[in-house]
Structure 1
Amino acid sequence: MNPLPIIIRIPARADYLDIVRAALFAIASKAGFSYEAIEDMKVAVTEACTNAIRHAYEEGFGGMVELSFLWDEQVLSITVKDDGRGNVVRAAHSAAPSVLHQSPIADVAVGGLGIFLMEALMDEVHVRSENGTEVVLIKRMSRNEEMV
């Protein structure tokens, strides 16, 4: 597969998430990831997109979410970017490693598991909040992947 990024822009609305999941499935299966790895990536990417949809833009003022998929040898890098305010995502990410890993699941606020879930399902997760929020999700090909 060509190492150039595949870029998709969707309106920041939940009814477009099926397009994102279909594109991810096509890209990841073409790269040779297993069904299980693709399902993990679909959950993580859906969480990142849902954060952008729910928290980036003021109520009633729609925006766009941009996804970039880059396959480079054995690594799939997926970037989810919005142009919104992003304060909620930044706060959740800064609390995730120290608070969530040491707390019982019942003590975590509703909606507070997105970053934690992304970190559990992906090999790396990076969050940047400058002029919007950018979440970079990285999944490496394991040596024993069975192609879809």
Structure 2
Amino acid sequence: MSQPFDYIEIKIPAKPEYVGVVRLTSSGIAGRMGFSYDDIEDLKIAISEACTNAVQHAYKSTNIGEVVIGFALFKDRLEVMVADHGESFNFQELKSQLGPYDQEGVSVEIMREGGLGLYLIESLMDEVRIQHKEGVTVYMTKYLEGEKVELDAETVST
């Protein structure tokens, strides 16, 4: 049984001047959920990196397109999807299709010129997955209490 969540989706033109709108929206959502100041800043950077990558690289040939940003607000985490194919998506369906983000297995061409941005995203978020069918979708998770730790993990004492 899936956990209930609130879902917010925005669509922006694939233009740099709209990335700030996404940053403000991200900040408002994360603040409302109770994230710390540092976590809100991390979220804003990671989400705007994903949006900037989509704006700069997804629609190079036409300069026309949209970026879709979906926010799933759970009790314990925020899940964000940034998709550059410009179509609305079913959050749960797309989430189930995504695999883990594997730096070793992803070619430079698939990561586009935003490879450093994806590295930054991975550093700031607790989980990152990427899909590269019909455009690129970056799926990111940030937990309210920091990184998710296994419940049966052994503690280490010093």
Q: If the TM-score is normalised by the length of the shorter chain, which range does it land in?
A: 0.7 to 0.9
Equivalenced residue count is: 123
C-alpha separation in 1, matches of 2:74 and 2:145? 14
Q: Which residue of 1 aligns with 2:53?
A: 51
SS of the aligned residue for 2:129 comes to strand
Given candidates 25, 28, 36, the residue that maps to 2:27 is 25
Q: CA offset at residue 54 of structure 1?
A: 1.1
What is the CA deviation profile of residues 43-78 of structure 1, one whole-angstrom value per residue up to 9, with x for unaligned ones?
100110011011111334310000001111101001
Q: Which runs of 5+ in 1 are unaligned?
A: 85-92, 100-109, 144-148
Q: Which residue of 2 aligns with 1:81?
A: 83
C-alpha separation in 2, matches of 1:31 and 1:25? 10
C-alpha separation in 2, matches of 1:43 and 1:32? 18
Q: Which residue of 2 aligns with 1:41?
A: 43
SS of the aligned residue for 2:6 comes to coil
Q: Which residue type is aligned with residue 62 of structure 1?
A: I
Aligned-pair identity (%): 41
Q: Which residue of 1 aligns with 2:8?
A: 6
Q: Which runs of 5+ in 2 are unaligned?
A: 87-100, 107-112, 147-158
RMSD: 2.2
Trace 1:118-137 onto structure 2 (pairs within 5 A). Answer: 118-137=121-140
Q: Which residue type is aligned with residue 57 of structure 1?
A: Y
Select the structure with the greater relative contact order (CA < 8 A; seq sep ≥ 6): 1
SS of the aligned residue for 1:136 comes to strand
Q: Which residue of 2 aligns with 1:116?
A: 119
Does the Cα contact within 8 Å between 2:14 and 2:64 map onto a contact in 1?
A: yes
Q: Which residue of 1 aligns with 2:67?
A: 65
Q: CA offset at residue 97 of structure 1?
A: 4.6
